[in-house]
Amino acid sequence: DIQMTQSPSSLSASVGDRVTITCRASQSISSYLNWYQQKPGKAPKILIYATSSLQGGVPSRFSGSGSGTDFTLTISSLQPEDFATYYCQQSYSTPYTFGQGTNLEIK
């Protein structure tokens, strides 16, 4: 199985900050990397797919980059509604594994 490791596991930041979350795969997954946002009691919501494609309706302050084994999600200027948990996920091969999550909290 491909292991996905996110860092940090938790992060405190302020409105307006630039934030970067990283995700590392245990083997190359090409560009088959997706990012999700999850708020308490809700289903995850896809933000970025195929490493850098922004899902429709997602604000442009979210961006993704990387390839192979190392990937990043960047939020250019945090907004109050961005405080949530973020997951990366590889869609390269089954089982389709997720990172452990990054809990983004208000400082």
Partner 1 sequence: QVQLVQSGAEVKKPGASVKVSCKTSGYTFTNYYMHWVRQAPGQGLEWVGIINPSGGSTSYAQKFQGRVTMTRDKSTSTVYMELSSLRSEDTAVYYCARGGGGTSADFHYWGQGTLVTVSS
Contacts of 57 (CB under 8 A, 6+ apart): none
Tokens at 85, concatenated: 């948990």
Q: Decide: is 59 part of the binding site for partner 1 (CB under 8 A).
A: no
Q: Decide: is 101 part of the binding site for partner 1 (CB under 8 A).
A: yes
Binding mask 21-40 for partner 1 (x = CB under 8 A): -------------x-x----
The Cα–Cα gap between 2 and 36 comes to 18
User: How many beta carbons lie within 10 A of that of residue 89, not counting itself?
Assistant: 20
Stretch that binds partner 1, among 17-25, 59-67, 75-83, 86-94 (CB under 8 A): 86-94
Radius of gyration for the alpha carbons in the chain, expressed in angstroms and rounded: 13
Stretch that binds partner 1, among 20-28, 41-49, 60-68, 75-83 (CB under 8 A): 41-49
> Amino acid identity, residue 97?
T
Q: Decide: is 81 part of the binding site for partner 1 (CB under 8 A).
A: no
Length of the chain: 107
Q: How far is the CB of 77 from partner 1 (least distance, A)?
A: 25
Contacting residues toward partner 1, per CB under 8 A: 1, 34, 36, 43-46, 49-50, 55, 87, 89, 91, 94-101
